[in-house]
Amino acid sequence: MRASNETEIKYLTQKEVLSLFNAIENSGKLHSTRDLAIFRLAYRCGLRASEISMLKLENYNINKGEIYCKRLKGSKNNTLRLDEKTKSVLDKYITENEITSEAQTIFTSQKNKPISRQTLDHLTKQYFSMASIQDKSKHHFHTIKHTTAVHLAECDMDIKELQWWLGHKSVTNTEIYFQFTTKQQEKMYEKLEGKSEMV
């Protein structure tokens, strides 16, 4: 899939995302619960590394399972509801690590500071390798945001819905995710089948 400026967007397939989550969960690493919460949250909400690093407990409504996403780079903030698996692992991490409203941020480093973009990129390379994601050009945290956008576009979310979900101010930034993927092409041909207008 290519954007209008011919820059290729790198994203994971559904199978690769499942492999990633499985790799993190079964890694045996000390911080695997934290890391799984981070990657599931980033995938669900389409968050950048810097947006993950500044999330606070006050942004999370644990009862409703909703998180207030503070967007950077001129994007619009929004509140998104988490899926059950993401909420479950996030709640587990918060409980096990006794994260309170006094904490600087939800996700911290070993030095108890907000987790950095460099650390998240390092974790991305580690876990993507463990998940056997061969294409090294995908081994960047921002790939997760692209993946979210493409998968939502393939789920029949329309362009205005996707624009709101990702927090894009301009629909132009959203349009690139509606270039035709193989799955979208298949749906297009299905619509044409049986139509008498096409002879």
Does some domain include residue 73? yes
Does some domain include residue 4? no
* pLDDT one-digit tens code per residue, 99-138: 998 888 999 988 888 999 999 999 999 999 999 999 999 9
Does some domain include residue 3? no
* pLDDT one-digit tens code per residue, 143-160: 999 999 999 988 878 889
Decide: 125 and 24 in contact? Cβ < 8 Å: no
Q: Which domain holds residue 30?
A: 14-192
Does some domain include residue 5? no
Strand order in the sheet with 78-81: 60-61, 66-69, 78-81
End-to-end CA distance of the chain: 29
> What is the model's pTM?
0.87
